[in-house]
Structure 1
Amino acid sequence: MKRAVLAVLIIAGLVAGYFLIGSNGSAEASQGKKAPINLSLDRERYSPTDTMVLTVTNNGNETVTVGYPFELYREENGEWVKVNVDLMFIQSVVQLEPGKSWTQKVSLSQLKLSSGHYKIVKKVSTQQMTLTVSAEFYVEG
């Protein structure tokens, strides 16, 4: 009985997290409400030598933790393929209070990206779980 209750709670938490955060980092959750955590970029299109500015915004009711590491994916034949990001990240974390934002600059020249459609993914932690937020962008030129 305890296992069944635990399984239901885990599934409910995963489903709730998916709908709260969304699958693409969009600021809007279902029914027009803001997602508790949002990842946005300063623009949608970049050249391979630009500096991208990421902004993580905490629209939720509790403090979250975010760090510098990120994952990068490139769309190839309709599938997201992980890009090897050969960078070392600062291992510090930022406590982001409700209503606050944090920015991070990413030098695209260090990533040596070719033209294409990309998605950047970051992990954000609450006291209860780790969430994934993402934003899509294009590299041209």
Structure 2
Amino acid sequence: MNDLTTAREALVAEALGEIAQVAERLETVVPAVDASREALMQASATLSDQLTSFEARMTAITENAKGVAIRHIAQRTDELARSAGEAQVRAMQSAATTLFRDELQPFLQRLAGSCQEQRRLARFDSWLTHAAAALLASALSWAIAAWMWAR
């Protein structure tokens, strides 16, 4: 049994030695962990500052993109409105041309023909009026001359 006790004591002593080595290693690791923690805290603060700067830049980029998009939409809207207006003008011109060609031109041709006929008849009527006035003047002159001669 004595051997067991010594073996146990040897194992305990060896375990205590290993625990002492682990404790020494832990003591050497603690400053490294503290330094890492400090570096991590500093990196976190730097990252936080960079994040604030990044957010400001992203806000500026977003505002710029919105402005570009709004200008593009306004430009396309103006172009579409202009092209729609031009299309309406062309459609109205086409409709007016068709209206004049199909509806008004035949009417105007009939009216022009009627006016020419009236003008031709009016020319004849004016000569007829002049001829009647000349004939009446001649008849009156002859009647007065005959009356004066008969007297």
* Structure having the larger proportion of residues in strand: 1
TM-score by length of 2: 0.21
Q: Which has the higher contact order (CA 8 A, sep 6+)?
A: 1
Which entry has the higher C-alpha Rg, 1 or 2? Answer: 2
* Structure having the larger proportion of residues in helix: 2
